[in-house]
Amino acid sequence: MDDGRTWDNCVDVCDGFYERLRQRFSITMDAGTHFMIGMDISFGDGWLKICSSTYINNMCERWLEYPIAEYDYVGTPAYPKLLDLYETAFLTRGNTPPELATRYRSLVGALIFPAPTTRSDCLFAVGLLARAMDCATEDMFNAALYCLVFMGQTHDDGITYVRDAPGGRRYVHWSDSDWAVRRSTTGGTGQLAGASVQATSRKQDCVSGSSTHAEIIAASTNSNDVVWARGYLAEIGLPQDEPSEFNVDAANVGTLVHNFIASKLTRHITRRECIVRERETDKTLAVNKVPTTLRTCSPRRSIVTPLPSCVSS
């Protein structure tokens, strides 16, 4: 822990405490700074925003060759050919030069820190970059720089919680997945107060045999996060008396959850991978089908993909 905050109702006692800390430890104190564990915190009447502007700007100064303002506009955190670059890197596993491996792990490790807390829009891209920790290539390193340029150009973006958001006290979870040749990706986010309170993008534990298989694995994994979130909310005085809304965009997931059926098309799906069905039955959550095009928030800008000058094609 290298950050801390204190609250008090006596200025004299508090100032004396600060002075004793300064005398004993090498620390910097600023009563006017809202900064905690790498996050910039701002708040007002009924709202609070967290972002990683300071942290990201420091990363840009360390890793980028030029000031962030000199780079071409980047509209998405993932380099357009990121999946292809990863597949190529995977085939070179074991042949990464030590210097490149150290450089890559340092940069991607730094990108991982803000992704799950304040930059969930970058989770998928950062997750793919992290899969190449043991098979880094120069192209993957440049793709990591591409992601950093996006973060730098949007360093003020963050998550804003609103006290009076409609339905803000009810926990809602969203689940989705892709379908890949090797391991698919599970994505999900839980929301309260009009914004994300937890977000995940992780590689699935097994190879899925179909897009339906990948979606049901993702739904079951996310249902575990719902169980944890409901238990935690009950402990802090915000119990969820009704089943949590659980949104998926795959109609087949709803079919498997709401109908206890099996067929030759689903025989490869194990019972363990259908645990979301049991969570629906015991009223922990309620699975809802939502359109694939439905967005939980408006896009900040359109997605375009020009390359910054630091990224090779």
Q: What pLDDT, on a 0 to 100 scale, did the predictor assign at position 301?
A: 33
Task: Pick the last residue of a domain from 158, 178, 198.
Answer: 158
Q: What pLDDT, on a 0 to 100 scale, did the predictor assign at position 17?
A: 83
Could you tell me if 183 and 280 lie in one domain?
yes
Confidence category of residue 266, pLDDT binned at 50, 70, 90: low
Could you tell me if 99 and 169 lie in one domain?
no
Could you tell me if 180 and 204 lie in one domain?
yes
- pLDDT above 70 covers what percent of the chain? 83
Task: Pick the last residue of a domain from 105, 123, 158.
Answer: 158
- Kindly state whether residue 28 falls inside one of the protein's structural domains: no
- Provide the number of structural domains found in the chain: 2
What secondary structure letter does DSSP report for 39?
E
Q: What pLDDT, on a 0 to 100 scale, did the predictor assign at position 179?
A: 77
In the chain, what are the helix, strand and coil shares in percent, each to the nearest 5? 40, 15, 45
Could you tell me if 120 and 206 lie in one domain?
no
Confidence category of residue 302, pLDDT binned at 50, 70, 90: very low
Q: What pLDDT, on a 0 to 100 scale, did the predictor assign at position 304?
A: 33
313: Cα separation from own chain's centroid: 27
Could you tell me if 131 and 227 lie in one domain?
no
> For 238-249, what is the mean pLDDT?
93
Could you tell me if 135 and 206 lie in one domain?
no
Q: What pLDDT, on a 0 to 100 scale, did the predictor assign at position 139?
A: 95
- Kindly state whether residue 294 falls inside one of the protein's structural domains: no
Could you tell me if 273 and 223 lie in one domain?
yes
| Cβ atoms 289, 249 nearer than 8 A | yes
- Kindly state whether residue 134 falls inside one of the protein's structural domains: yes
Closest C-alpha among 76, 161, 79, 167 to residue 128: 79
Sign of the CA dihedral running 128, 144, 62, 32: negative
Instruction: Supply the CATH number for residue 281's domain.
Output: 3.30.420.10
Distance in angstroms (rounded) separating the CA atoms of residues 153 and 112 = 17
Question: 143: domain range?
Answer: 53-158
> For 262-285, what is the mean pLDDT?
73
Residue pLDDT, tens place only, 179-217: 776 788 888 999 999 999 999 998 887 777 677 778 888
Does residue 298 register a pLDDT over 50? no
Task: Pick the last residue of a domain from 158, 173, 200.
Answer: 158
Closest C-alpha among 39, 65, 43, 67 to residue 53: 39
> For 52-78, what is the mean pLDDT?
94
Confidence category of residue 241, pLDDT binned at 50, 70, 90: very high
- Kindly state whether residue 305 falls inside one of the protein's structural domains: no
Could you tell me if 171 and 285 lie in one domain?
yes
- Kindly state whether residue 104 falls inside one of the protein's structural domains: yes
Could you tell me if 121 and 173 lie in one domain?
no
Could you tell me if 229 and 151 lie in one domain?
no
Q: What pLDDT, on a 0 to 100 scale, did the predictor assign at position 172?
A: 96
> For 292-308, what is the mean pLDDT?
43
Could you tell me if 245 and 189 lie in one domain?
yes
* Burial class of residue 210 in the structure, from the number of CB atoms within 10 Å of its CB (0-12 exposed, 13-18 middle, 19+ buried): middle
Mapped onto helix, strand or coil, the DSSP state of residue 31 is coil
- Kindly state whether residue 302 falls inside one of the protein's structural domains: no
- pLDDT above 90 covers what percent of the chain? 52
- Kindly state whether residue 89 falls inside one of the protein's structural domains: yes
Could you tell me if 152 and 75 lie in one domain?
yes
Residue pLDDT, tens place only, 47-56: 999 999 999 9
Does residue 161 register a pLDDT over 70? yes
Q: What pLDDT, on a 0 to 100 scale, did the predictor assign at position 309?
A: 42
- Kindly state whether residue 176 falls inside one of the protein's structural domains: yes
